[in-house]
Chains A and B, each alone.
Chain A
């Protein structure tokens, strides 16, 4: 799981997290007791099905964004107009 999430764990961490996640997952198993047949998943709050209000989309128009330099200035390493990263090699 840590690898999928791009996390590197020490052996000790892996052991602690393993035990903690097991107990959390065991608690989450209680959801299996709920009858969800025929129930729609609630993927978002903003729809009328649960009392929410649908939100309109705005026009898809391009607008100028003038913070490019400020954003690149935050980067650990950049060469205008790009971010720089180490070599990309398949693991």
Chain B
């Protein structure tokens, strides 16, 4: 059974970017600090594999997902990773209006709402999980009760400013269960399951 899993690196003060994030600087000012749990990077996604064994567990799980959902904003900023986040799995983007020219065969813009988007991604993923990336889309999924798991890379830093991961949620509590903690140098991996009902 496919689950929808949010993967986000967050500072202790709740930010996922520095201030002033835009197309030229998707991470915002100083926001790359949050990506330091990853490897140094390179042309291939595998070049970002962390050196720490605990972090590798999370990274490998992330790259074994069978589909990706990302927000329009995040996706546009990074040009949908050139149309391939990892292994050529399909990328689904909830949006109000699909762009006139979609240059990426594996990127699907879904205009029928967040529920339809998740449904299509899960169907494409088969028995694998779906990776979700992006704050606004995460909030929409939380509000719609569609998110199953949050995998947070909690970074030991206070950024002070930027884009918050959790914003605009209703005041009804969403209860979580902490199901796994992996501690690596410079990052704490917290895996929460969203409690239903």
Are chains A and B native binding partners rather than an unrelated pairing?
A: no
